[in-house]
């Protein structure tokens, strides 16, 4: 009996210690927002020195008219995709992550009770998702409990298990799914991928596109990211081997396959589906993707 009571006592003590470790919210000083929305635009929608007259791109409808007490900060970064623009895609995306992390860190230091939301579109969704995944490990710039919403439009790193709003879509993002997902913030993540948007919906069997996407997201990444990308490269390699290896890749690179891919890409770009999230309907009430994200973010304020 004494052993039973000793076990109960130790369990109670452990639980008490756990609850004591949960951070106690402190009062915010005057001027702090209740919710800080950090928005990362897509490729070519911003720059290192954004033009105020240019607007906020696809995310404007998501961040406009949010409830009182909400502050929206847009992230400036190169937003480039090609080497001749100055920064290759991976370096541009990493700059977006660094700048967004800096905004959150500065606000968190001044405003201990402020919660955060991160939203991103296209390349910005790539950056937003990576930063959210970092925070979801519990070792990020703020605790996972302070990241109450992550909204991703056309995420090139969308995983098949990411919480999806709207009609089901095949495959993953062109860059492959994030190894480990979003960790502790998974319940607060919502991703939207339009049917036919190849950036966020690349069929698993299209290994040529998956290889190209992986090289785009990983090239030029810092040393501390290499282990993560090594794991993702291993997953891609194993998928290729399971599907037939080099002979299968050769078939996907045949003249006929290349012609079919060219037609597919031309159809995709002409469809403007990637640029049409302000009109893409995600539920039976006719709610568009940008409106749905706006209302969801507003509910967190």
Q: Is residue 168 part of a domain?
A: yes
Q: Which pLDDT belongs to residue 3?
A: 46
Strand partners, 71: 36
The CATH number of whichever domain residue 55 belongs to comes to 3.40.50.1820
Spell 108-125 as b/e; 16+ CB within 10 A means b. beebbebbbbbbbbbbbb
Given pLDDT bands bounded at 50, 70 and 90, which one contains residue 252?
confident
Q: Is residue 72 part of a domain?
A: yes
C-alpha angle 12-18-22 in degrees, rounded to nearest 5:
145
Strand partners, 147: 116
Given pLDDT bands bounded at 50, 70 and 90, which one contains residue 15?
very low
Q: Is residue 255 part of a domain?
A: no
Q: Is residue 267 part of a domain?
A: no
- How far does CA 113 lie from the centroid of its chain? 24
Number of domains present in the structure of the chain: 1
Is 19 a residue whose pLDDT tops 60? no
Q: Which pLDDT belongs to residue 124?
A: 97
Is 160 a residue whose pLDDT tops 60? yes
Q: Which residue has the higher pLDDT, 21 or 134?
A: 134
Rounded Cα gap, residues 49 and 41, in angstroms:
13
Q: Which pLDDT belongs to residue 227?
A: 66
Dump pLDDT digits (tens) for 38-77.
Answer: 999 999 888 877 766 667 899 999 999 999 999 999 999 9
Closest CA to 231 of 246, 218, 248: 218
Q: Which pLDDT belongs to residue 221?
A: 63
Q: Is residue 162 part of a domain?
A: yes
Range of the domain at 196: 33-201+272-298
Q: Is residue 194 part of a domain?
A: yes
Q: Is residue 130 part of a domain?
A: yes
Closest CA to 124 of 89, 163, 159: 89
Given pLDDT bands bounded at 50, 70 and 90, which one contains residue 195?
very high
Q: Is residue 259 part of a domain?
A: no
Dump pLDDT digits (tens) for 291-301.
Answer: 999 999 999 99
Q: In what order do the strands lie in the sheet with 115-121?
A: 70-74, 35-40, 115-121, 147-153, 189-192
Q: Which range, 62-76, 207-221, 233-247, is most confident?
A: 62-76
Question: Over the chain, what is the mean pLDDT?
Answer: 85
């Amino acid at each position: 009996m004494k052993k039973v009571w000793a076990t109960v006592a130790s369990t109670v003590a452990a639980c008490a210690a756990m609850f004591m470790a949960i951070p106690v919210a402190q009062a915010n000083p005057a001027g702090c927002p209740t919710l800080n929305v950090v928005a990362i635009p897509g490729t070519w929608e911003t720059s290192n020195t954004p033009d105020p007259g240019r607007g906020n791109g696809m995310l404007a409808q998501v961040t406009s008219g949010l409830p009182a007490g909400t502050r929206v900060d847009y992230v400036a970064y190169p937003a480039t995709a090609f080497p001749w623009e100055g920064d290759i895609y991976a370096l541009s995306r990493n700059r977006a992550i660094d700048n967004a992390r800096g905004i959150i860190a500065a606000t968190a230091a001044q405003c201990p009770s402020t919660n955060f939301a991160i939203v991103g579109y296209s390349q910005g969704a790539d950056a937003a998702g990576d930063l959210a995944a970092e925070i979801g490990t519990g070792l990020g710039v703020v605790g996972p409990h302070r990241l109450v919403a992550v909204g991703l439009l056309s995420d090139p790193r969308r995983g098949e298990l990411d919480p999806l709003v709207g009609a089901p879509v095949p495959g993953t993002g062109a860059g492959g799914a994030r190894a480990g997902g979003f960790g502790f913030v998974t319940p607060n993540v919502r991703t939207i991928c339009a049917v036919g948007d190849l950036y966020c919906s690349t069929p698993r069997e299209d290994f040529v596109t998956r290889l190209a996407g992986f090289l785009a997201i990983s090239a030029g990444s810092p040393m501390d990211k290499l282990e993560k990308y090594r794991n993702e490269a291993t997953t891609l390699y194993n998928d290729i081997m399971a599907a037939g290896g080099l002979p299968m890749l050769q078939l996907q690179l045949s003249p006929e396959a290349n012609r079919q891919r060219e037609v597919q890409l031309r159809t995709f770009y002409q469809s403007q589906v990637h640029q049409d999230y302000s009109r893409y309907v995600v539920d039976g009430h006719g709610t568009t993707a940008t409106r749905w994200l706006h209302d969801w973010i507003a509910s967190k304020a």
